[in-house]
Structure 1
Amino acid sequence: MPEGLKLDYPRLEDGAALWRIARDSRVLDLNSSYSYLLWCRDHSATSIVARDADGDPVGFITGYLRPQDQRTLFVWQVAVDHSQRGRGLAAAMLGTLVARTAEELGVEFVETTVTPDNAPSNRLFTSFADRHSAPMRSDVLLDADVFPDDGHEPEVLHRIGPLAA
């Protein structure tokens, strides 16, 4: 865990900061500000926020339990503020979030989608699976041609697990 940061549950009032971090990343698909507010309200138990010494969000992971499989945590977005990159924060957030949801909610699997060109995210999830000695299966979930906007790459589903208890 990077020094000077604290991992916490997101709160409704964090939604605007999470939206700004996602927007400023210039790599994430930016959702509406409304969705980040609701995410902090409705999916706090399956998400995480990193706070600096002043309590301001500097990173987050949004996630939810799959409705068809409550043992699977789907990681929606991982974002780290530019000021905190290169410190291992994304890995610390992911490890803490998965451990917390495994203990509190019975999570045994992690899923996420990543585009082929997103090397940092692909490394994050591959190294997470390696650290936990968990199998990882990867298959295209959404082909590029299903997206209404031109130029979207396919989304590859990574399924990690089962995770050791």
Structure 2
Amino acid sequence: MPRDMTESPTPLPQLRKPDPTDGADIWALIQSCKPLDENSMYANVIQADHFRETCVLAERDGEVLGWISGHMIPDEDTLFVWQVAVSEKARGLGLGRQMLSELIGRGACADAAKLKTTITKDNKASWALFRSFARGIGGALSDAPHFQRDAHFDGQHATEHMVTITLPARDTLAQAA
């Protein structure tokens, strides 16, 4: 049956800085986004409080649909993205790229010349997101094994590749957005 054309489209999630009271909702979102590492709820409360300037929350009608946690690496010109979570309800909207763009456009990330994240080789969704994001902003992407299965994870976790995206100058970023 064709969709009723008078029906209004679903509004896009709104992006904002998190608040510590969002911690439980962030934790629940991450729980629903396998295979993301499940940190404690307390860790998400701390991220939403201490690192709110470098984290992004996406919500629609009070429901948390997306989350990026990150931080500026001390003494470096690098933004590190720790986790990206997008609810099944919001997949296919380009929300991950929107949240990354929001994040690198913030004043707290103004000194970032690079964006780094770690991804296991089998995480196709993350590879696709970061490759697409790099192409979209005109940044170069490189990767190399970083946290190794045996040396860092006692054989309990797949090797994490450090992905580095060089960020264009801020005026170029503004034009790409």
Counterpart position of 1:85: 91
Counterpart position of 1:118: 123
The answer to whether the 8 A contact 2:137-2:167 is kept is no
Instruction: Give the Cα–Cα distance (whole angstroms) in 2 for the partners of residues 138 and 65 of structure 1.
Output: 19
Counterpart position of 2:64: 57
The normalised TM-score by structure 2 is 0.85
Shift of 1:106: 2.1
Instruction: Give the Cα–Cα distance (whole angstroms) in 1 for the partners of residues 116 and 107 of structure 2.
Output: 13
The normalised TM-score by structure 1 is 0.90
The match for 2:49 among 41, 45, 61 is 41
What is the CA deviation profile of residues 117-162 of structure 1, one whole-angstrom value per residue up to 9, with x for unaligned ones? 0011001111111111111121111111120362x11100011114
1:86 is paired with a residue of what secondary structure? coil
CA RMSD, Structure 1 to Structure 2 (Å)? 1.6
Matches within 5 A, 1:4-83: 4-52=12-60, 54-69=61-76, 71-83=77-89
Instruction: Give the Cα–Cα distance (whole angstroms) in 1 for the partners of residues 107 and 136 of structure 2.
Output: 17
Instruction: Give the Cα–Cα distance (whole angstroms) in 1 for the partners of residues 32 and 155 of structure 2.
Output: 21
Q: Paired residues, what number?
A: 160
1:61 is paired with a residue of what secondary structure? strand
Structure 2 spans left out of the alignment, 5+ residues: 1-9, 171-177
Q: Is the counterpart of residue 100 in structure 1 residue 135 in structure 2?
A: no
Q: Percent identity, aligned pairs only? A: 34
- Describe the shift of the 1:101–1:125 C-alpha distance in structure 2 as closer, same or farther (beyond 3 A): farther
What is the CA deviation profile of residues 61-89 of structure 1, one whole-angstrom value per residue up to 9, with x for unaligned ones? 000000131x2110000001121112211
The answer to whether the 8 A contact 1:46-1:101 is kept is no
The answer to whether the 8 A contact 1:18-1:60 is kept is yes
Instruction: Give the Cα–Cα distance (whole angstroms) in 2 for the partners of residues 42 and 148 of structure 1.
Output: 30
Structure 1 spans left out of the alignment, 5+ residues: none
What is the CA deviation profile of residues 40-75 of structure 1, one whole-angstrom value per residue up to 9, with x for unaligned ones? 0000000100010x2331111000000131x21100
Instruction: Give the Cα–Cα distance (whole angstroms) in 1 for the partners of residues 66 and 167 of structure 2.
Output: 26
Shift of 1:95: 1.3
